[in-house]
Amino acid sequence: MCIGALACCCASTAASCCCAACPSCKSSSSSRLMYGLLLVTGAIVCILMVAPSVQTGLSNIPFLCADDSDLVAFIREQLNLPPDTSTQAVCSLLVGYQAVYRVCFGMTCFFLVLSLIMICVKSSKDPRSGIQNGFWFFKVLILVAIIVGAFFIPQNGKFERVWRYFGMVGAFLFILIQLILIVDFAHSWNESWKEKMDESESKGWFCALMSSTIFLYMVAITGIVLCYIFYAIQPNASCGLHKFFISFNLVSCVGITILSILPFIQEVVPHSGILQPAVISVYSIYLLWSAMSSNPDTDCNPGLEKILHLNSSAGNVQPLGLSGEDWIGMLVLLFCVVYASIRTATTSNVGKLTGNNDGKDYGSGEVLLDDAAGDKGASAGGDSDKEGQNVYDDEEDAVSYSYSFFHFMLALASCYIMMTLTNWFE
């Protein structure tokens, strides 16, 4: 049974790993979920590498970090370290920020190579489609090999100095992609509830829509006020830059709210409303707080622990060595990656972004899991006719998303993970 499961993972479709009890699944959707899972797994590994408990535990493993350990001798030899390099210094290369740089570098290279390979793939009939949707066992091995190879990059500081600039650019670009995905999520949310309101002719959906919008604006206003109190109005510093950006964000949030209800905007985007600017306002306040919390000036950046009056000496207030800002950033990243993986609707923004331009409008998203469609795919000779595999090829005529751009987005997400966990090289 284990051999059969391994064979399924090496098969031509990602969803071959699904069991018979699972509903039918499109190969395009399952592949994106698998790649998203690889990214999330890499993020978890990076989080563990910066955890103080993991670093302490590693040094306590005798056969790893003992003075006479073969591993320590091997690392000294391969990295051309001086013979007198302490065992603790050698083992520290396996964890901490240095390890995060190399793991994220390996993931970025892996996804960039796939992005280049998948350029101009138009349908599943292209031989390269098999690489995209299958051979998972070998792709995981290649990813692990690249990451392991990254640890053999010389530890002279040059790699970190160069790689950090690429990481900054990649993380910035991913923040822009995050914004587009969140705008698309807001449009889909608004359209879905409006359709239910029209179909049921019930005021309950209208109340739910308005309540959600009001709640989001209350969160945005509360965030603005808290940013002014804790990051702008300080007795020992003027914090003029913080005051400027907080005021600029406030004006911007008011501006996009007014624009969304103007008649000419309603004509161009009929499904626009005030829910979308409410979501964008909350996200912009989060980005503002994230930027201010990375300011090294402690007079203008008291830190979340100090704001919440948490005493770091009384216990570990940073689970796994990550601050509250880091955890929130990772959660936003997880949401965007999962949403990009399961989102199949075409919109004027995301459709052009991902290369899916089949002319559908907002709210016309396809279903990720569909038994009826799976039966149809099985009758067409797809993978569904194999016992225990309810997957069908939905890209025989055209791909449902740009393979190349999807991998490019995951490469940028790897850079964002690195920047978040290293506090933007603070």
Across residues 181-186, what is the average pLDDT? Answer: 82
Residue 358 has pLDDT above 70, yes or no: no
Q: Which residue has the higher pLDDT, 124 or 35?
A: 35
30 token code pair? 């399952």
Across residues 84-91, what is the average pLDDT? Answer: 66
Q: Locate all alpha helices (DSSP H) within 269-367, ordered by sequence.
A: 275-292, 304-307, 324-342, 350-354
> Which tens digits make up the pLDDT trace of 367-395?
444 444 444 444 444 444 444 456 666 66
b/e per residue, 73-85, with b = 16+ CB within 10 A?
Answer: eebbeebebeeee
Query: pTM of this prediction?
Result: 0.74
Beta-carbon contacts of 115 under 8 Å, excluding residues fewer than 6 positions away, are 403, 404, 405, 407, 408, 411
> Which tens digits make up the pLDDT trace of 215-256?
999 999 999 998 888 888 877 778 888 889 999 999 999 998
> Which tens digits make up the pLDDT trace of 247-289?
999 999 999 889 888 888 777 777 777 888 898 899 888 888 8
Across residues 296-308, what is the average pLDDT? Answer: 74
Residue 47 has pLDDT above 50, yes or no: yes
> Which tens digits make up the pLDDT trace of 310-348?
554 444 445 555 666 667 777 877 777 777 666 644 444
Structural element, H or E, at residue 92: helix 87-92
- The pLDDT of residue 214 is 92
> Which tens digits make up the pLDDT trace of 133-164?
888 899 999 999 999 888 888 777 788 888 88
Residue 425 binned pLDDT confidence (cut-offs 50, 70, 90) = low
